């Protein structure tokens, strides 16, 4: 039985080794991977963000929590990828220009790999040239992630640039909404990583 509370607390406190140990024990115990993410790790990142908003946590705390989260994700990634189906298509995903947040983007990439997509991870701080590199490598879908209200508008430029180039652009990230996606003419929006897989499935049907 996984101690989700201990996992949540370990992520918040940035205890990377504890996170890895709890996640490994959960995996060994046959725990549902989605529960590890949805009941332990993702709520922890939300909580640390809320603390940051209330000035109860600062950038260094966010950073060590993020590192602890990545330690857990690294253990889950091969399992999620191994559950994949045959190649479903090629997606290039990156966090937009000016934005260094990559945990959500990494999660979307992992879920897509798990669903059988070839994923080109373009990293963070991606400008249009970077997204274009993904297209040159064969991606027919571009995924843009943004976590900052100040970087969100760059998605509009990406969408406009690829509008008539036979490439679909889907967007997501905490401040992004369906209304914003509609406003800028994106091909799709998803609130979370699982939804991103379903969205891309539907676009490639
Ligand atoms: Co930053 N940060 N941060 N941060 N940070 C936020 C985003 C913030 C909301 C915190 C707050 O104020 N409460 C705030 C933004 C406020 C705003 O824009 N209005 C903020 C700020 C202000 C900043 C800095 C400016 C702080 C500073 O320096 N003063 C700075 C900016 C740096 C930069 O990018 N240029 C900064 C820095 C950092 C760290 C480096 C310390 C660290 C990032 C480390 C890393 O990513 N490697 C960090 C963190 C960890 C956060 C919070 C706490 C957590 C983000 C996270 O990883 N969430 C965040 C608070 C929050 O979001 N509540 C915060 C977990 C992750 C699984 O969720 O990324 O939302 P998320 O992804 C979800 C969905 O959104 C969706 O699926 C994912 C899984 O379900 N999704 C997609 C994401 N991308 C998608 C793409 C899709 C589809 C779905 O299709 C393509």
pLDDT in tens, 44-93: 988 988 898 899 999 889 889 989 999 999 999 888 877 755 668 999 99
Residue 190 has pLDDT above 60, yes or no: yes
* Residues 6 or more apart whose Cβ sits within 8 Å of residue 69: 11, 19, 41, 44, 45, 103
Give the whole-angstrom CA distance, residue 188 versus residue 180.
10
Question: Considering the entire predicted model, what is its pTM?
Answer: 0.88
Of residues 128 and 198, more confidence is placed in: 128
Q: Indicate the pLDDT class of residue 133, thresholds 50, 70 and 90.
A: very high
Closest CA to 103 of 18, 41, 19, 181: 41
Tokens of 137: 């490598």
Tokens of 157: 């430029």
By most ligand atoms within 8 Å of CB, the mutation choice from 8, 16, 104, 170 for ligand 1 is 104
Tokens of 49: 């963000």
Closest-lying ligand 1 atom to the alpha carbon of residue 146? 84
pLDDT in tens, 89-113: 999 999 999 999 999 999 899 888 8
Q: Whose CA is nearest to atom 27 of ligand 1?
A: 59
Residue 116 has pLDDT above 80, yes or no: no
Q: Indicate the pLDDT class of residue 182, thresholds 50, 70 and 90.
A: very high
Q: What is the pLDDT of residue 179?
A: 98
Q: What is the pLDDT of residue 167?
A: 97
Among 75-84, 144-153, 189-198, the least confident range: 75-84
By most ligand atoms within 8 Å of CB, the mutation choice from 50, 114, 134, 174 for ligand 1 is 174
């Amino acid at each position: 039985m996984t101690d989700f509370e201990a996992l949540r607390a370990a992520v918040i406190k940035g205890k990377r080794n504890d996170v890895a140990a709890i996640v490994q024990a959960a995996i060994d115990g046959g725990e549902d991977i989605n529960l590890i993410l949805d009941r332990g790790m993702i709520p922890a990142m939300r909580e640390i963000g809320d603390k940051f908003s209330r000035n109860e946590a600062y950038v260094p705390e966010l950073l060590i929590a993020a590192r602890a989260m990545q330690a857990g994700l690294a253990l889950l990634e091969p399992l999620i990828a191994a559950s994949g189906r045959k190649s479903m298509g090629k997606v290039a995903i990156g966090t937009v220009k000016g934005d260094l947040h990559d945990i959500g983007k990494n999660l979307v990439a992992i879920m897509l790999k798990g669903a059988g997509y070839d994923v080109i991870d373009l990293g963070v701080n991606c400008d249009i040239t970077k997204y274009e590199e993904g297209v040159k490598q064969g991606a027919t879908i571009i995924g843009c992630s943004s976590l900052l209200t100040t970087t969100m508008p760059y998605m509009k430029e990406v969408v406009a640039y690829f509008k008539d180039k036979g490439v679909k652009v889907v967007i997501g990230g905490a401040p992004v909404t369906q209304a914003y996606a509609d406003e800028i003419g994106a091909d799709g929006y998803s609130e979370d990583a699982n939804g991103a897989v379903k969205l891309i499935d539907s676009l490639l049907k």
